Chains A and B, each alone.
Chain A
Amino acid sequence: MLITRRAEFSASHVCAQPALTPEQNRELYGAAANPSGHGHNYVLEVTLEGDPDPVTGMVFDLKRLKELIQQTVIDPMDHRFLNYEVPPFDRIVPTTENVAAEIWSRLSPHFGDGNPRLNNVRLYETDDLFVDYPGGRP
């Protein structure tokens, strides 16, 4: 069975590589390369997979999942400029893909391979663009 918890955070970022010229960054990332940054209301959906505990009837305590997301993702990222305030985005470009993979790596240590396991991280940058990362090779 799959269970999903949704959370939101607002953050700013710049998508640009130091090794590229401003023109090359503009070509690759479009308006997202604006050096001063811009922001999004990110929507995060964390999905766990497992069998309900026969006593509690729950795959995982959703209150506990909410706290985990709050502590590992929302508190550090909400109302922050990702490039300047949230490592590793001082070193890697905070594309939606890379932010989703970072969220996976922050959450996955809290779950094993058994019951439940982390099934998927979905991150909406806007209503019209989202990424799904089910672990493994990013």
Chain B
Amino acid sequence: MRVTRRYRFAASHRLHSSAFTELQNRELYGKCNNPYGHGHDYVLDVTATGPVDPSSGLVVHVPTLDRLVSERVLRDFDHRYINADLAEFKALVPTSENIMRVIEDRLMTHWSEVFPGQWPRLEGIRLRETKRNFFELTP
């Protein structure tokens, strides 16, 4: 069974790659290349999977998942300028695709510290940048 928990964070970013000229960046990323950046209310869905424990009736202890996501993701991403405030993005364009990879990496790195057993496993994450686009990643 899969359990999905939804989180939110507000952050700003600018899409700009040093591999391209100013003009190329403007053409590729459009408004997202605005030099001063812009922001979104991101919605992050984290899905855990595993068998239902017959005693507790639970797949995942949600407060533990909340603590993991809060400490490893929300604390660093919420109300930040991703390009400037997060080390991973010094040389990485903060597209939603790359933000997903960084979040997944952070969760996978610390998953077994808080969930040391075989279950639950991280099934996947989904990031909604606006109401009109979202991205999904399965480890």
Contact = CB atoms under 8 A, between A and B. Distances in A.
Interface of A: 15, 17, 19, 28, 30, 92-98, 100-101, 127-133, 137-138
Contact of A101 (B6, B52, B56, B61): B52
Contact of B57 (A19, A30, A98, A137): A98
Interface residues of B, number: 17
Contact of B4 (A19, A94, A101, A131): A131
Nearest to A120: B2
A133 B57 CA distance: 13
Contacts of B102: none
B55 interface: yes
A132 B2 contact: yes
24 contacts: A17-B56, A19-B55, A28-B61, A30-B62, A30-B63, A93-B56, A93-B57, A95-B52, A95-B56, A95-B58, A97-B59, A98-B57, A101-B1, A128-B6, A128-B7, A129-B62, A131-B59, A132-B1, A132-B4, A133-B1, A133-B2, A137-B51, A138-B1, A138-B52
